[in-house]
């Protein structure tokens, strides 16, 4: 399992292999974590939100599955994207679903995106000393119908953003999004607000780039577009190597 060279210990941040050289006898302990790769991305627009993820599930040098999307539909107006350790992703989504049902039965209304974000923060922090190894991003519509994106760190720190990338290729995608959606680091550019079609095209292009350079991202792209009409899903193939 996770004991020898392919264990999580040999991976530095975001699953990149550390340098291999003989440093003397080392002790290998059982690590309860594994890194399953995957990238998640969310963009908020004026009246829509997009949550996209690749569908590759990997571990070390192997691919477990090419069809394991990381977007989970929580309510009609909220989608959660989680990447990192797949076991923790599954448990976390189960817990969130249960809490959503409890809220619905106690309060007779569905949870809003902001409330789900606050709840997820406390769920993650309750495991402060044995964290869920999951990078979460929530995308949805807020009470006014505007797009909202909430990004989390693995122990529950969160904030509302306009766009965010998480997961293995996040360090590559985030600067690209800063430039294209946030118009950062460019002089003399007109700040055009993002339309839904343009945003979807941008997300597709961005994932194609990520699949080129990140080994843990690829196979297919699942896009969930949240509007007041509902949640539309699209599947786009990516490179499979």
Partner 1 sequence: MALEDICNFKDKPTHKTFPFYASEDTSVSVFTEAFNFKWRGEMTSKKASDVPLEFHVPSLFKRPSSRASHSVSVRRPFPLSHGTTTLGFIFQGGVIAAADTRASAGGLVACPAVHKITPIHSHLVVTSSGSGADCMLWERILTREIRLYQLRHKRRLSISGTAKLLSLMLHPFKGTDVCVALTLCGWDKLIYVCSDGARLQGDIFSVGSGSPYAYGVLDRSLSWSLNKEEAILLAREAVFRATHRDAYSGNNVDLFHVTAEGWRQRQREDLKEEYYRDMEKRGLLGFSNWFTHLFLEE
Single residue of 65, 157, 179, 195 touching partner 1 by CB under 8 A: 157
Is there binding between residue 31 and partner 1 (CB under 8 A)?
yes
Single residue of 151, 165, 210, 214 touching partner 1 by CB under 8 A: 151
DSSP-assigned states of every residue in 193-212? PPPHHHHHHHHHHHHHHHHH
Q: Which residue has the tokens 């044995």?
A: 130
For partner 1, the closer CB: 213 or 240: 213
Is there binding between residue 171 and partner 1 (CB under 8 A)?
yes
Is there binding between residue 107 and partner 1 (CB under 8 A)?
no
Binding segment for partner 1 (CB under 8 A), chosen from 32-40, 54-62, 74-82, 211-219, is 32-40
Is there binding between residue 168 and partner 1 (CB under 8 A)?
no
For partner 1, the closer CB: 135 or 222: 135
Select from 115, 66, 94, 50 the least CA-distant residue to 239.
66
Contact present, 82 and 92 (Cβ < 8 Å): yes
Is there binding between residue 124 and partner 1 (CB under 8 A)?
yes
For partner 1, the closer CB: 65 or 125: 125
Instruction: Report helix, strand or coil for 6.
Output: coil
Q: By rule CB under 8 A, what count of residues binds partner 1?
A: 35
- Dig out the tokens for 132 from the structure: 């869920």
Residues that bind partner 1 (CB under 8 A): 8-9, 11, 13-14, 29, 31-33, 35, 84, 98-99, 102, 121-122, 124-131, 133, 151, 153-159, 161, 171
């Amino acid at each position: 399992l996770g004991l020898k060279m392919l264990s999580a210990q040999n991976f530095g941040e975001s699953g990149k292999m550390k340098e291999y050289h003989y440093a003397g006898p080392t002790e290998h302990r059982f690590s309860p974590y594994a890194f399953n790769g995957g990238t998640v991305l969310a963009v908020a627009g004026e009246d829509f939100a997009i949550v996209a993820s690749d569908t590759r599930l990997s571990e070390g040098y192997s691919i477990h599955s090419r069809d394991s999307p990381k977007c989970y539909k929580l309510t009609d107006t909220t989608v959660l994207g989680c990447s990192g350790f797949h076991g923790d992703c599954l448990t976390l989504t189960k817990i969130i679903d249960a809490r959503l049902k409890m809220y619905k039965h106690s309060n007779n209304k569905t949870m809003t995106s902001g409330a789900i974000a606050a709840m997820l923060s406390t769920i993650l922090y309750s495991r402060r000393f044995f964290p869920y190894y999951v990078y979460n991003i929530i995308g949805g519509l807020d009470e006014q119908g505007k797009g909202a994106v909430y990004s989390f760190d693995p122990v529950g720190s969160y904030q509302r953003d306009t766009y965010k990338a998480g997961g293995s290729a996040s360090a590559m995608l985030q600067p690209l999004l800063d430039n294209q959606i946030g118009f950062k680091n460019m002089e003399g550019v007109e700040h055009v607000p993002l339309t839904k079609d343009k945003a979807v095209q941008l997300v597709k292009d961005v994932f194609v780039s990520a699949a080129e350079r990140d080994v843990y991202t690829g196979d297919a792209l699942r896009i969930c577009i949240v509007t007041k009409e509902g949640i539309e899903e699209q599947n786009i193939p990516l490179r499979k190597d």
